[in-house]
Structures are given as structure tokens and as C-alpha cells.
Amino acid sequence: MKALTFHGDRTVRYESIADPTLQDPADALVKVKLCAICGSDLHVYHGREQGCDHATAMGHEFVGKVVEVGKDVDRLKVGDLVMSPFSTSCGQCEYCLSGLTSRCIHSQLFGWRQHGKGLHGGQAEYVRVPQAEHTLLPIPSTISLEQALLLGDVIPTGYFCAHQADINPGKVYVVVGCGAVGLMTILGAFEQGATTVYAIDTLPERLIFAEAFGAIPIDASVRDPLQVVKAIHSQGADAVMEAVGNNESLQLAYNLVRPGGIISMVGVNTASTLPFSPADAYDKNLTLKVGRCPARFFMQKLLPMVASGKYDYTSIISHRMELRDGVTGYAMFSEKKDKCVKVLLHCS
């Protein structure tokens, strides 16, 4: 089959690799119809996250059709259209049962293989899905394939980022970073009752989305976000949702948050230490909530909201390309060229 494979720093290839096969009775094979490039794929692409085996099929955002199931798979049938979160989960361990599916004891991340172990990703014609009955969710006719694709990561991750920020009407919230996850965080915050959300970025095209979604945009290349927020809310924000995943943004979040406030982080931050000290955290009575979104849990929970059509999630998709053009898609997304926010790849 064809796939977009990892080959070291800034090198993704569109090439043939072995077709996946069922390896366990709980596996399913999915023929990918649509996949996407995620901001966290860029950590691998740029070598910020190291150790991924070369020739691994990249990507963890995909939807497709079931083409084969293991003998233990009863609830999915060949021909079912399915969506998937970015990691697998069993549905039976204490983490899965408590809703923290991202910490399932059997969890594996799509598109990450190290020393020959792990899973190929969804930027490929086919993908093997372990623990398929729980990992996959059939796509109902009430949502589109593109909505289903965004439900695999960015919609739940944004909602979760806002969820961690303990949203209440009348309080002041800031979202740092208006990439796909930051934009979904804005919508998640409003859905959870926020009334005042500031959104910080340096790219005008992303701030236009933030404003369209109801946030107050702050272009950090023009104005100092700290001055803008503190001029109106002298104590700072009640919570800051950091949706970039680096220490520069995290330091800004720390500077923006009021004493007793919350910083919520959902991006993969590859720095080795936090930008602020334990004493800094103490001096603000800071609550730091950080971690991988339990996408499988929120995917199911948020399905009715997505189906309701209340929010125009798919408007953030800036580019629709063929899988074979994915190498160009990576370069464009990585360099934020052509107002790129989210790249979708079709597998025809």
C-alpha cells in the first residue's frame, strides 16, 4: 500500500510499504478514506520528538471503512464507516471506565513505532486498529466524514482543553494559539458556558477564525497580549488555555493567569523543563492541568453536539489534497504557507 512515511528530520515520503494484516483477534483493518496532518505530527517531522522508526506510516487522524475484522470483533462489520481517536483503548481497564481513555493501560498511539514496536499511522491507504471494538466508533449518518475526522482529535482536544479550565460564565479566559486545536478550544469554551474569551496568535488568518468563533482576537505581533488583557482585567485571566505546546506560550500563559487561576495545556510540549519555577507556581497558587486528551471518551460525548450543526467546525479545513500530495501538505503546514490551518488528505 501507499503511505506517507517518516524518514528523519523534515523528511516524509509517499512510498509503498507492506500492507497491514490482522495480528490479533481484536484487530480490524480499515481502508482509509480521509486523513489529516496534525500539529503534533510536526513534532516528529521536525525531530522535536525523537525515536520514531524510519519508514513508519505517519498520522493519527483518519476515518475509513472496515475491510476485515478479527474473530473477536462482533460489534463492527466489514463495510462499516468508522472514526478513530488518535490512540487505541480497551474500554475495560480502570482508566477507560473512568473516562481517561488516553491513559488506557493498553493504549497505543497511531503513527508511532520505536524499535520495531508500535503502530503505523493513518496517513496511509490502510491501517490496522487494535482493540477495534472499543477504539473505533461507527460514523452515524448525522455527521459528515470531515466532521468525523475532526472528532478523532482536534474537536475533543479543544473541548478537553476548555474542560480543564473549569469554565464559568462571567469569568475571563484566554486561549494562547489559534491553530486547529486553539480554535476548537474557543468553541469548546463557549459550549461550556464561557462569555469572555481572548484569543492570541500572530497570524491574521487564524485570528479571523477566532473572532468568527466569538473570541476577542489579540495579534501578538502588533500588541502585547499581557498589556491588552491586564488593561481590562487587572488581576489577569481566570484561566489560560495553552494550545501551542511550547515554553514561550506557556510562559505567556503564566504571565496572563491571575493568582489562584488555572493553566490548561493539551499540546505536546517537548521542552525538558517548565519555563517557570516551583516558586513562581507557589507565588500564584497556580493550578496546572496538563495531558493527552481522552479523545475516545469525548468523541462519543461530543457526537450529538457536532451532529446538531451548531458550530462550523469544518470551516478550519484550509486545504484538501490527495494522499499522494501529502509531502507538499507537510511542507505547507509546517511553514504555515498559503494561510494553512488544517490539511486533509483524500485516499482515493
- Chain contacts with Zn ion (rule: CB under 5 A): 38, 61, 89-90, 93, 96, 104, 153
Between 133 and 238, CB nearer to Zn ion: 133
- Give alpha helix (H) positions in 201-257: 204-212, 225-232, 247-256
Between 209 and 276, CB nearer to Zn ion: 209
Secondary structure (3-state) at 10: coil
Candidates 232, 234, 206, 209; CA nearest to 220 is: 206
CB of 268 to Zn ion, least distance (A): 10
Q: Cα–Cα distance between 259 and 236 in angstroms, integer?
A: 8
Q: Cα–Cα distance between 249 and 237 in angstroms, integer?
A: 15
Q: Cα–Cα distance between 249 and 222 in angstroms, integer?
A: 16
CB of 7 to Zn ion, least distance (A): 20
CB of 141 to Zn ion, least distance (A): 25
CB of 190 to Zn ion, least distance (A): 22
DSSP H or E run through 159 = helix 154-164
Between 246 and 255, CB nearer to Zn ion: 246
Three cell numbers written together for 201: 496568535
Between 261 and 326, CB nearer to Zn ion: 326
CB of 257 to Zn ion, least distance (A): 26
Helices (H) and strands (E) in the chain, counts: 12, 17
Query: For Zn ion, which residue has the nearest CB?
Result: 38
Between 34 and 96, CB nearer to Zn ion: 96
Determine the residue type at 86.
F
